[in-house]
Structure 1
C-alpha cells in the first residue's frame, strides 16, 4: 500500500492572519508540519533564478532497489500537499495505487507565486499578453521554463532518485495545464502521462489551437496518454467572460480529427465543479487512471 510521508511547512493552508501566525511563532507553539519530505535545490543557471523541488518518497523506498514512476506537479504550494493527501486516502480506502515518487515544482524563490507562474507556465514569447484587454505584465516564457525542466531540473532529480524515466506523469491545472499542452506539442516524449485540469486555452487569443495545428502539419504520431478535466461551471455564466468548457470541447474535437498514432486522449466535464473546486476531483480520477494498483 502507498504511504507517502511529507515534511513541508504549509503557512498558506492555515486559516489565520499573518499577525496571528507571528503571535503563534513568538509564543513558542509548535508549527504544524506535514512530515517527511526532502527539499532539493534546482537552480537554473540559464534563467538566473532559483527553484526547488519538494520530494515525497514511497514508504518502502529505502528498503527497495527498484525504480518508481514519478508524478511532477506544478503550483507545488497548494498542489503538492493536496495530491499527497488524496493519494493516501484513495490508497487506504481499498482502491489501491502503485507506489510513486511525488515531486512538486516550486515557484521561483523570492517571487510572488502569481508572477512566477504567469511567466513560466504561459507560451508565446516576449510581449505576449493573456488577452487583448489586459496589460502584458511578464508572460510567455514557457519555452524557457521547459528547457530548464528538461536540461537542468529533471536530470538533477533523476540522478538523485530511482525514477523510471519511461513513466513520468505531468500534472497541471489552469496555467499549469496550459504548460502541459505546450510540452505535449513541443516535447511530447518528455512525459508519458498528462493529467490536465481546466487548461487556459483562451490565453493569447487561443494560441494553443495554432500550436497543435503546427505540430499536426509535421507529425502523424503523438505517443502520449492524456486525460483532461474541466468543471461544468467553467463557462461564461461563472463570470469569467470565457467559455472554457466550450474551448475544451472544440480543442478535443480538433485533436480527434488528427487520428494521431499512439495518442490516448480523453476529456471529461465534471458536473457541479468550477475553476476553484475541480482540482481535488480531477486529481482523484487522474491518479486512479495513471497509477492503478497492479496485482
Structure 2
C-alpha cells in the first residue's frame, strides 16, 4: 500500500512592475508666487509674477502689466507678452497676476472684488456652501492694489512704476472702470476687454456722468476690445438686464460718452473683433492692447 504525501506546492510571487519615475510638474520659467495679506480686507491673496528673459542680466526697469483673473489670464498674458517681444520687437514687461482670494472659488472672489455695487438685478447663488454671495467691493479692492500690491512690487522688483498697465476682462473690466472713474492716474494704460456694462442696470454709465460733472480731464490711455458676437440674443429687446443686453452697443455708447467730453489727457480706442465671442476674444484684446502702448525696440 502506497503512502500518500501531502506536499505543499509553492509558486513564485509575482514580480511587481518597476516603479514609474514620479511625474515632474510643469513650471513656467522665470515665474514666482508671492503671498500678500490684504490688511483692510482681512483676506489673503497671491501674486503671480513673470519676469522678462533679460531681467537677470539687464539691470534696467520694466513696465508692469497687472492682470485680473490670474488663474486663467496670467499664463496667457506671460506668453503673449514674451512673443510680442521676441517676434514683434515690443518692450519686455513684468507681468503680475492678481489671484483670487485664498480659500475661495474664482466666481465667489471675482464677483465680490470686481463689481462696483450690489446689483439691483439680483445676483447668482453662492457656489461656496455656508457663505452668502457677495458683491460690490471693487472700490476697496482697488485700494488694496494701489496701497499694498504696488508697494510690494516696487520693493521686490525693478519695476517702472510710472508705466503701469491694467488688464481686465468682463467683470475684471468693471474693476478697471471703477479705478478709472475714481483715480484714473492709478494706471498709465488700461486694457479693458468686454466690460460688463449691463451690470446693475448700467451703473457705470451713471458713474461716468458723475465723473464728468466733477472733472475737466481724465488722464488715461484706454484700449477697449470686444467680440462682434457679444450682441443681443435673437428675439430679445435690448435693455441692461440679464440676458437682454447688447455688450457691443453698450461699449460703443460708453466710449462715445467719454469721447464727447473731449478730455485733453484722454486717449481712448475701441476695437470690435470679428467672429469672436465673450469666451474667445480675450487673447486678441490683450495682444492689441499691449501693442497700442508698448514701444518697439530701436
TM-score (norm: length of structure 1): 0.86
Secondary structure (helix, strand or coil) at the match of 1:273 reads coil
Aligned length: 266
CA contact (8 A) 1:123 1:182 kept: yes
Q: Of residues 239, 260, 265 in structure 2, which corresponds to 1:257?
A: 260
Change (3 A) 1:164 1:242: same
Report the secondary structure of 2:219's partner residue.
strand
Counterparts of 2:84 and 2:159 in 1: how far apart (Å)?
22
Matched, 1:283 2:286: yes
Contact persistence 1:71–1:101 (CA under 8 A): yes
Change (3 A) 1:89 1:67: closer
Structure 1 CA distance, aligned partners of 2:47 and 2:209? 33
Question: Which runs of 5 or more residues in structure 2 are unaligned?
Answer: 1-19, 126-131, 237-242
Deviation at 1:134, TM superposition (A): 5.5
Tell me whether 1:201 sits opposite 2:194 in the alignment. Answer: no
Structure 2 counterpart of 1:79, from 31, 50, 73: 73
The Cα shift of 1:90 comes to 2.9
> Over alpha carbons, which structure has the higher Rg?
2
**Unpaired runs of 5+ in structure 1?**
1-25
User: Per residue, is there more helix in 1 or in 2?
Assistant: 1
Per the alignment, in what secondary structure is the counterpart of residue 34 of structure 1? Answer: coil
Give 2:104's match in structure 1, choosing from 91, 111, 114: 111
Pair 1:173-2:163 in alignment:
no
Report the TM-score when normalising by structure 2. 0.85
* Alpha-carbon distance in 1 for matches of 2:60, 2:197: 38
Query: In structure 2, what is the Cα distance between the partners aligned to 1:209 and 1:236?
Result: 19
Tell me if structure 2 keeps the 8 A contact 1:129–1:137.
Answer: no
Counterpart Cα distance in 1 of 2:80 and 2:262:
34
Quote the RMSD (CA, aligned, Å). Answer: 1.8
- Aligned residue for 2:191, secondary structure, equals strand
Give the counterpart of 1:120 among 113, 117, 131. Answer: 113
Q: Confirm whether residue 131 of structure 1 aligns to residue 121 of structure 2.
A: yes
